[in-house]
Structures are given as C-alpha cells and as structure tokens.
Chain A
C-alpha cells in the first residue's frame, strides 16, 4: 500500500529517484530546486548512494554522465540558469547515449529572472537547448504524486532508450505541498539497464538502427568506449558522411520511433468535449478547475494533459483538434508549446493561447473567461 506522506514536490522527486534505483546525485544548488539537492544529500547515503555538490552545473552533469557509465543510475536538479549551463554536456549524454535524469524546476526567466517565481519558459530549451539534431524525452508533473511516480518513469525511459530524460517541473509543482503515497517496492515497475549477453570480444557499445544498444558499465567484463564526438559502432572516431548521417538520424529515431510507448497523456471529460484545454505541468491544476467551472455553466469543456511534453504526442494532439470547436493552451510563458498545437491544426479552428509571465500562477478564472468568451 505504501506510506501516506505530506510533502513537497521537490522532496517527492528525491523519493521517486531513490525508488527508481538512483544512487548518485551531482548538482549545484539553485532556487527553486534546492530541496531536491538537500533531501538527496540526506537520503542517498542512507541507501548507500552518493551525493556530491559540484563546482557548477557543467561539472554536475558531467559527473552524472560519468557515474552512469560506471553503473549508477544518476540524477541532478536545477532551474533555468543551470539548465543553460548543462546544455553543453546534455549533448554528451545524447551523443554518447548515456542514461541520466535532469530535473528542471522552472522559474521565471530569462537569465536569473525571478528565482522564486513560477514559469514554464524552458519547454523549448528542454527540446532544443543543446546544439545539433536530436530528440529528447521530457516529462512534466502536475502533482506531488506525479513527482514520485513519474520520476520512476523518467528513470525507466532513460534506461530503456539510453537517453537523458528531462523532468520538466516548475516552481508551482516543486514547492507544492500535498498528500502523496510513497509506494512500496514491488508496487511499481523499475527498468534496469539492459546489459549485453554476448562474448565481450564481440560487444559494440553503439548501433545505429533506431534502437538503443545494451550498455554495460566501466569495470564489468565488457570493455567499451563512450564517445561524444562522431563515432562508429565501437565508439571509435569516424568522420565519414554515410556513418555521420546514420548516427544523427538514429539519435532522433531512437526516441521518435517509440513515441507510442513513451507518450503519457491524461484526458478529462473529453468524450463530448467541444472546447478543449491542452496543457501540461504546473498550469494543469488551474486548467482543471476552469474546466469544471465551464461545465457548471453548461459548456462542453474537456482537458488533455500532456505529461510527456517531448516527444510531442502527435496522435493525441491531432485527436483533440479533430473533435474541438476551439482549443485553449494555457502556459506560463508567452506561447511556446502552442506552436506544437498550431502546426497540427489542419482545420483552422481557433487555437487560443492563455499566457502569463508576470511571475504569478495562472488563475482558473483567467482561463475560464477565455472559454466562456469563445463558447458564446
């Protein structure tokens, strides 16, 4: 049954990471994510794990990647300014195909912005923050329970697809305190890294067919090279057009090719919905409240919550667009994710952004007024 606790989102992320088997944290404290670091520094040694505070975020993600190669499930937590610094070695994890989880508790930017204020301004940075073509998995929680449950999912995806996963939280969810069930081991699935089973002499750390190759750890009987520069299947450098094209495409296919297995969405009152809210993360709770109020007024309103914001759930967004007279996209930014909805809008129905960057959360009535106006 687990244990019922009352805790903060950031703390539940730590519990989720430990439940997923994570035993290594490297990070640099930053508001509003620091509680993940603080609780990890206490909890990890209790389970034989290790917490290290690095000199900066560049070093933090580098240490994560190193620890993951040496066999430990690894994670860090940061906010926008830190994610900017981590973007360099996020590319190493993508190119080197090294599993790890980066928690981004978003705050209002740009730059240092407002450290304690909520925002969802990093959603495009999560997608494209590091240079070069690639795909990425980003998961956005909207409750403290999500912080626990979806953190396990984040690690499972990371190990399954040999990729960094961004846990795209925000100040609202990170600092939210509410009831959470800390589930007992056995009540959730934990994916362990797929080890090779071939003869060590035959092992290749990379394959470029859109599937993640098995990954051993440094110190096992398998000897291998991790290479963040262009490489062939043995991890040795190779600058040759056919190989380079294959590698770059593989890094996208490895994730986009499994979109149906990755996608998590939640549908609320969508059966007969004509007015559909599409939202994610910290904006979801206010949107749900607005949906209920709209229903009370007789408006057929529904909500599609996108949990895995990247890769964008193509099918689910198209289905929502197909049934709606109008779609509303509340976001704590000037309209970033709405472009994912708009570019799939083939029938030309109104796609209405509800955007706020004044450092306050979006209130339900702000969303409701737009729905009422459109439904007139």
Chain B
C-alpha cells in the first residue's frame, strides 16, 4: 500500500496549493509500492528547501542534512551498505546550484543512487530568489529587472558528467514521469530524473502566472519531446523544456567496481 510509506500524522503537506512536490512524492511512493521496497531497506536523503521537506512525510529511514550535500551523504550511505535503496531528493538549489560539484562527481562515480531533482526555477522556500536554473529575463526577488544569467540545462550537465541514466519529465505529464522514476529506481548505477514543476507562489506570481492552472498551461506549452527537439534550432529551444530519456546504459556502479579492488587487495567482500 502506497499509504504505508506516508507519515499521515504529519499531514497536511507543508507545500503551497499548486506546488508539484506532492505529485512527485506520490509518483515515487507508487513506484516503491510496485517494487515492494520495504521501509527498512529504503533511505530518503533530502537537502534543504521545499522539496527538502519531503522526508518529513515518509515512514522509511531518512536523512535530512545540509543544503546541496544530499548526494554526498547518499554516497556514504550507499557505499557503506550497498543493499539499501537510496533515494536522493534535491531541488534546483540543492542539485545544481550549491550542490553542483557533488552532482557531477556522483554522476561520474556512478554511485548506485536514484536522484530526483525537482526544478521549479527558483528558491521557493526563501521567498523566490534566482537559482542556477532560473531562465534569462525571468523576474525573481533578486532579479527584479529581469535575470541576466542563463539557467543550466541540468540533464546536459549530468549526462556530460557520465551518468548512466538521465531523464527529464514534468509534473504535467504524470504518466511519463511515473515511468521515468520507475526506470531510475530499477537502474543499477547513478540515475537522475529532473522534474519540471510549478511554483505559482513565487516564480509564477512574479512572472504573470499566479495560479496553478496558468503555470501548468505554461509548462505544457513550453514542453517538447526529445524527438521534436532534435528538429529544432538552438534559438527555437530557448526557454523550452525538452523531455525524454537522454541516457540509459549499463556500466559497473562504484561499489561493484570497488569490490574488485577489495579482492585484489586480499580483502573479503
């Protein structure tokens, strides 16, 4: 039962109406349930921010640490006990901004954790300041005349870093997202799913989309599939969300490779 993973006494959720975080958490729990993951063998590792509150609502093991370091904590957890299912939840602040260094190295090492990064294009919890994924010209609390920087294409970064599973979905297309999260959980090695998600309270309000349906519609209109994107120019793809699976291959994960070092050193695995 999916509800077995949900700490119901902590409800209602802290997230704002129209936030996508609850949709993603439900998708994760649905996939856990389908796979029969036990609470004992599962650890949620979270960062800081709205999505970093997700561990409050789970009945499994959890680790709530510092901003941006969730993947580094996860690396230790997984390498010390490779039998665990480690789910690392990060926002765009955690994942690619303050924690970008941990992200590229976790991807390169191919540590067998499942990273779900919700990208809501701004720092929602602290009042809507710009992050490493905020698009150019967007209005935020710290870019009130329009943002002068470009946002990261996070999947490109993670893929270039050597991740063996990389996908991007949106909370609008929940069917596709469920599938991606399931694939990421089944994947042996570092798996990364970026989820584009609305923040009507902060990003939306400051950019002319103060209700959830308007933001959902905006997200839908800006989403193109990987196949469509291949036919579009760089200029046409500006500010668009390209969804799909960008990488899915098998390579030895870090622990499997390290086991050989242990054996070569005369140690027992």
Q: Does A72 contact B (CB under 8 A)?
A: yes
Residues of A within 8 A of B66 (CB): 62, 88-89, 91-92, 228
| B64 and A66 form a contact (CB under 8 A) | no
Number of cross-chain contacts by CB at 8 Å: 151
| A63 and B55 form a contact (CB under 8 A) | no
In A68-83, which residues have CB < 8 Å from any B CB? 68-72, 74
Q: Does A26 contact B (CB under 8 A)?
A: yes
Q: Mark A274-300, 1 if CB is under 8 A from B, else 0.
A: 000000000000000000000000000
Residues of A within 8 A of B78 (CB): 66, 70
Residues of B within 8 A of A223 (CB): 39-40, 59-61
In A167-213, which residues have CB < 8 Å from any B CB? none
Q: Does B152 contact A (CB under 8 A)?
A: no
Q: Does B188 contact A (CB under 8 A)?
A: no
| A66 and B267 form a contact (CB under 8 A) | no
Residues of A within 8 A of B45 (CB): 66
In A7-48, which residues have CB < 8 Å from any B CB? 24, 26, 42, 45-48
With the chains together, A221 CA to B73 CA distance in Å? 21
Min CB gap B181→A, angstroms: 21
Min CB gap B40→A, angstroms: 6
Q: Does B262 contact A (CB under 8 A)?
A: yes
Residues of A within 8 A of B56 (CB): 236-237
Q: Does A268 contact B (CB under 8 A)?
A: no
Min CB gap B59→A, angstroms: 7
Q: Does A58 contact B (CB under 8 A)?
A: yes
Q: Does A325 contact B (CB under 8 A)?
A: no
Q: Does A116 contact B (CB under 8 A)?
A: no
Q: Given the interface contacts A50-B258, A59-B75, A228-B64, does A67 sit within 8 Å of B80 by beta carbon?
A: yes
| A226 and B62 form a contact (CB under 8 A) | yes
| A224 and B269 form a contact (CB under 8 A) | no
With the chains together, A70 CA to B45 CA distance in Å? 12
| A72 and B62 form a contact (CB under 8 A) | no
Q: Does B69 contact A (CB under 8 A)?
A: yes
Q: Does B168 contact A (CB under 8 A)?
A: no
The chain B residue sitting closest to A61, CB to CB, is B72
Q: Given the interface contacts A55-B101, A56-B101, A223-B61, does A46 sit within 8 Å of B81 by beta carbon?
A: no
Min CB gap B37→A, angstroms: 12
Min CB gap A49→B, angstroms: 7
The chain B residue sitting closest to A227, CB to CB, is B64
| B10 and A236 form a contact (CB under 8 A) | yes
Residues of B within 8 A of A96 (CB): 63, 65
Interface residues on B, range: 35 or more
Residues of A within 8 A of B266 (CB): 46
With the chains together, A355 CA to B80 CA distance in Å? 43
Q: Given the interface contacts A54-B75, A58-B72, A63-B73, does A217 sit within 8 Å of B81 by beta carbon?
A: yes
| B105 and A59 form a contact (CB under 8 A) | yes
The chain A residue sitting closest to B14, CB to CB, is A237
The chain B residue sitting closest to A54, CB to CB, is B72
Q: Does A347 contact B (CB under 8 A)?
A: no
- CB contact between A66 and one of B53, B80, B101, B104 (< 8 Å): that residue: B80
| B102 and A59 form a contact (CB under 8 A) | yes
Q: Given the interface contacts A220-B40, A221-B40, A225-B55, does A66 sit within 8 Å of B84 by beta carbon?
A: no
| B62 and A225 form a contact (CB under 8 A) | yes
| A66 and B77 form a contact (CB under 8 A) | yes
| B77 and A218 form a contact (CB under 8 A) | yes
Residues of B within 8 A of A91 (CB): 66
Q: Which of B73, B74, B268 has the most CB of A within 10 A?
A: B73
Q: Given the interface contacts A48-B269, A63-B76, A225-B55, does A89 sit within 8 Å of B65 by beta carbon?
A: yes
| B262 and A65 form a contact (CB under 8 A) | no
Q: Mark B244-269, 1 if CB is under 8 A from A, else 0.
A: 00000000001000100110111111
Min CB gap B25→A, angstroms: 16
Q: Which of B62, B65, B66 has the most CB of A within 10 A?
A: B65
| B64 and A24 form a contact (CB under 8 A) | no
The chain B residue sitting closest to A62, CB to CB, is B72
Q: Mark B96-111, 1 if CB is under 8 A from A, else 0.
A: 0000011011000100
| B72 and A48 form a contact (CB under 8 A) | no
Residues of B within 8 A of A54 (CB): 72, 75, 105
Q: Does B180 contact A (CB under 8 A)?
A: no
The chain A residue sitting closest to B84, CB to CB, is A219
With the chains together, A42 CA to B264 CA distance in Å? 11
Min CB gap A192→B, angstroms: 16
The chain A residue sitting closest to B108, CB to CB, is A55
- CB contact between B267 and one of A49, A221, A228 (< 8 Å): that residue: A49
Min CB gap B38→A, angstroms: 9
With the chains together, A60 CA to B56 CA distance in Å? 25
Min CB gap A359→B, angstroms: 32
With the chains together, A26 CA to B265 CA distance in Å? 18
Q: Does A64 contact B (CB under 8 A)?
A: yes
With the chains together, A16 CA to B74 CA distance in Å? 27
Q: Does B43 contact A (CB under 8 A)?
A: yes
In B188-221, which residues have CB < 8 Å from any A CB? none
Q: Does B41 contact A (CB under 8 A)?
A: yes
| B81 and A218 form a contact (CB under 8 A) | yes
With the chains together, A96 CA to B72 CA distance in Å? 16
Q: Does B79 contact A (CB under 8 A)?
A: yes
Q: Does B83 contact A (CB under 8 A)?
A: yes
| B41 and A219 form a contact (CB under 8 A) | yes
Supply 13 A–B pairs (Cβ within 8 Å), ascending by A.
Answer: A42-B265, A45-B265, A48-B269, A52-B109, A55-B102, A62-B102, A63-B72, A67-B77, A69-B63, A72-B81, A74-B80, A219-B84, A220-B40
Q: Which 6 A-B pairs have the closest CB atoms?
A: A66-B76, A62-B72, A63-B76, A70-B80, A67-B80, A59-B72
Given contacts A58-B69, A89-B66, 5 further A-B contacts (CB under 8 A): A50-B262, A69-B80, A91-B66, A96-B65, A223-B60
